[in-house]
Amino acid sequence: MTIAIPVKTLSINPTIASLFANAKFFAYSRDGELGIEKMEEERGRDVARTLIAQNIDILITSQLGFKPFVLLKSYGIQIYFAGVEELTAADLLNQFHAGALVEVTPENFGTLLD
């Protein structure tokens, strides 16, 4: 399972980026290993296409536009709301594995992410 999180910096344990489309880096948890990669794309749908090409299974984010949301969901990617606090990637992964994050659906999208 691959989990992606938009983050602010290329550091050991970066904090989540507040805007999905403007994130310069993404943290990826692949088989329990956390790595950070630079994101070259700067538009929401282009970032979503890059994540799809990388075969992610789950996105954890605090903000996401409607068009990238629909695109990611059409590929079966689960999206979870990170909340409004500026947490680290490790903290968010721990919350995800503990079942503490809310999955974003078409029904709650407008309340959580828009």
pLDDT, tens digit, 9 for 90 and up, residues 29-74? 998 788 899 998 888 899 999 999 999 999 999 999 999 999 999 9
Tally of domains in the chain: 1
Q: Where are the alpha helices (DSSP H) in 1-114?
A: 44-53, 66-74, 89-97, 109-112
Domain annotation covers residue 110: no
Q: Residue 98's domain is classified under what CATH number?
A: 3.30.420.130
Q: Which domain holds residue 82?
A: 2-105
Return the pLDDT at 114: 66
Domain annotation covers residue 111: no
Which residues, 6 or more positions from 47, have their beta carbon under 8 angstroms from its beta carbon? 6, 20, 21, 23, 39, 41, 68
Q: What is the mean pLDDT of the chain?
A: 92
d(CA 88, CA 27): 10
Domain annotation covers residue 113: no
- The pTM score is 0.94
